[in-house]
Amino acid sequence: MSLEHLDVGVDSPMFMIRKLRFVTSNVGKLAEAQDFLLPAGLTVEGVSRDIILQVVEPQSPSLKTISSSKLEQVLSLFDDDGVPTFVEDAGLFIEAWGGFPGPFSSFAHSTLGCSGLISLMRGLSDRRAHFKAVIAMHLDGQTHHFEGRIDGSIAQSIDGDEGFGFDPIFIPEGESSTFARLGDSYKRRHSHRTRALENLLRLLVQDE
């Protein structure tokens, strides 16, 4: 799926919103959102580190619960200036481990890293996994959720140096290389985050 399927572009009159606010400490996530939405005439701004440090991530097995809680906290820190504001939570779900690390992927990456996860999976034949992202956005006084998912598998070894997180060990379905080897341009067309952003954009188009 691409923006062409949504029939929007920089000259499109289909919606009046021209700016969104993405609250994230991950510069890679912010860049992905900016690159995807810019062709639709939407700019995406980040927020100061001071704001980000005030948001406490809840411990929950649900990405939707986490994103909703983070958004609620964020909204309490801003005066309502009419700019649609969104947060996102994502995770790597490994089938053989019942979906772990899932919502705890950031912690797993900071403690195990890609090499540690590969080591723990040594000998496992079932290497199926998927990335999932859930966006929570405040628009016109309501909270909307958008999901995106990409299926794939865990590589036998680390491969590639682009992207971030577990990109060097995740092979998208239908490919033979990892996200990190396929490169940022591939990921920004096909990732779980892109698919969630596509759903977000559909809502903005429908609202007009």
Q: Is the pLDDT of residue 110 over 50?
A: yes
Beta pairing class for 43-45 and 85-94: unpaired
Query: What is the per-residue burial (b if ≥16 Cβ within 10 Å, else e) of 141-154?
Result: eeebbbebebebbb
More confident residue, 82 or 22: 22
Residue-level pLDDT at 54: 94
- The predicted model gives 28-40 an average pLDDT of 93
Domain that holds residue 149: 3-207
More confident residue, 39 or 7: 39
Burial label for 98, CB within 10 Å (0-12, 13-18, 19+), is exposed
Residue-level pLDDT at 207: 54
Q: What is the CATH number of the domain that holds 172?
A: 3.90.950.10
**Structural domains in the chain (count):** 1
Active site amino acids: 89
